Structure 1
Amino acid sequence: MRLDILFFLDYDIDEELPWHSTLSRTRQLFPEEVFESVFEHIFGMCVVKGMVSGHTQAIDSAPVKANASMDSLELKVPEEDLEEHLRKVRYMSTLDRSRKAKVNKADKNQQTITASQGELQEIKSRNKKWSQDQDQRVGAGNKGSKYTSNKTHYSPTDPDARISVKPGKARKLNYLSQMSVDTAHHVISHITADFADKKDNQCLPTIIEKLKPRLHKKGMFWNNILADTAYSSGENYALLEKEAIDSYIHLTELIKAVRMGLHT
């Protein structure tokens, strides 16, 4: 269906294509190290061709939809009540054949509630407001919808998925993709998946830890970083200064934090 991809892969329009499971199933058999080595090899080829400068990297994130439904979310419970809750859920599952999650893949930590009383009260207040104006929210027209939180709910079918939302978008179970692009010819220099409830500024140290040695191994030195305000924090600016990387990141979040500190 995508003629540009067929052209790129040197397939004629009437030529038989590989079966999709060659990618979708086979890739599940290989460990992360295999994909990392393939990425390093292709990145090295781009370096040899002069497509990578190394000195300036642009970083951004994007949500990646998880293959899990919001309808399958389970309620977290206090640790002391977990076993009783599971027994009840198993019993209800035998009665309700429409239940989507046949197997609970989440570990005990994921099923146990971690929210404080204050956070629970805040979620309760949001639920009340949600029920009042849900018709005005994207993806919340369902009268039975609830304001769900990662602190109170989890996905039994995909424990790595997290509830996340972007302005103007519906709440979904997502992962978080973090990508770095070399600005010379837009070659991807680093990409990783993380939990969607993490903030971008929490992911930046790991990106630096992985990307700087990769560039150094190819004889390149990382001098500049371009990123939006979501990556700004005092800790990140200190780390970038230590690593001798000039940052072009808007200071909005840092200024907000300083102002809050002054008020308190």
Structure 2
Amino acid sequence: MKFEIKIKFYAKVFLTILIFLGGVGVAEAAYETEGVMESENYFPTPGLSLVNSFDYSVTIPGGTTAKAQFSYDGRVWYSTAGVLGAWDTLSTGSQSLDLSTLGWQKGQLYYRLWLTSDGSATPVFSSVSVTYTPLGGAYYVYELNGTSTSANLLPSSGVEEISRFDYSVSSLPPETSLRLQFSRDEVDWYNSAGTLDGYDTLTAGDHYLNLSGLGWSGGAFYYRAIFTSDGEFTPILDSVGLRYNRDLLLKLKGLLLFKGKFQFR
């Protein structure tokens, strides 16, 4: 579903019209160096909706910029990557920003535009729109916290050195978190720095943790994912991978990759 309004937004304009006897003189326009516009709640009707994208059409002259932020409560603002306080830099033309990875389904959406100018020109938005999926009264409730522990990821022998742990997090909504711990015996758990009972806090996207400092080898390796939720949203761990050196003549590097959605519900 798509809800659209047409807007034209200009930075504050100082317009002087010189009127001469017998005619009208030249009008001069100057723009503020920057300005911010905040929207009202964008959804036309109450109810839960899953936000999909923010579409816009804008002309951005040279010497000017346009950026956007998003909020589900009109107070705390994020980029499309879910980074608190960050902005998305917009491009001229008809474009779209993917909001689906935010996982927002609170029935509210606010956007904020930050425009800058060199004084002679300003960005001009001809339209903005939001695509979303009404949830039809469905309401997803998640546990406030949960833990998922893996089986042993390694073969029983031939592992000389465990070097790194790869992961992909497709969704890490605000007010949720995802942490990892590692173990060789499922009793004592460590973070990647080797701190007993420590943990590594994950971020959205494709990343890895360096495990070479642990000095682990042998045929046993477990990881534990710790999820927290605000009840409405949950992190999604898409895949994990473990890199290690095999104890072979060619010193082949091994890679275990596990794909699929891991989400605590």
**TM-score, normalised on structure 2?**
0.28
- Work out which of the two has the higher radius of gyration on C-alpha atoms and give 1 or 2: 2
**TM-score, normalised on structure 1?**
0.28
More helix by share: 1
More strand by share: 2
